[in-house]
Amino acid sequence: MHYLITFTTYGSWLHGDERGSRSRALGPVSPNRGWVLSEQKRLRAAPFRLDGRTMSLVRDAIVAIASRRAWLLIALHVRPCHVHLVAAAEAAGIAVLRAAKAAASTSLNRHMGAVAPRWTRYGHVAELRGRAAVERAIAYVLDQQGARTAWYAAR
């Protein structure tokens, strides 16, 4: 199965954010400043953002775990506050998401020491059905996120 997987850094992309967000219960969420302010008050730690060095660490960790787990990593883009990847794997999408976040955390811990949360609790997994869906996801990940930061493409 092919997947488009997205996860965000802790506290950087809250429900109601003007860029759009997703709720596990509600699906897509419209911008809502009140919801953002409410979530900011509940944060247990400062928001976490990746810089150039840490984005590269996250990219390299995900490339490595994909190789170890025999996933076909097709596209990956690590941004300051979120990560997108397109992969084909026999594993369930949620397992790919969890392994990618764990590998990224392990790498960051090794280089920076353990700190309060780095990632939001969940993420988003979309199953991609058909070659056209995979191609659209690749274009989204690599070409529709602004200037490329830490990225990987299998091509």
Taken in order of first residue, the domains within the chain and their CATH numbers are: 2-10+46-153 (3.30.70.1290)
Which residue, 100, 91, 137, 138, is CA-closest to 119? Answer: 100
pLDDT of 36: 66
pTM comes to 0.87
* Bridge partners of residue 124, in order along the sequence: 6
Q: Which is more confident, 72 or 154?
A: 72
82-103 pLDDT, tens digit per residue, is 999 999 999 999 999 999 999 9
The residue-averaged pLDDT of 108-130 equals 92
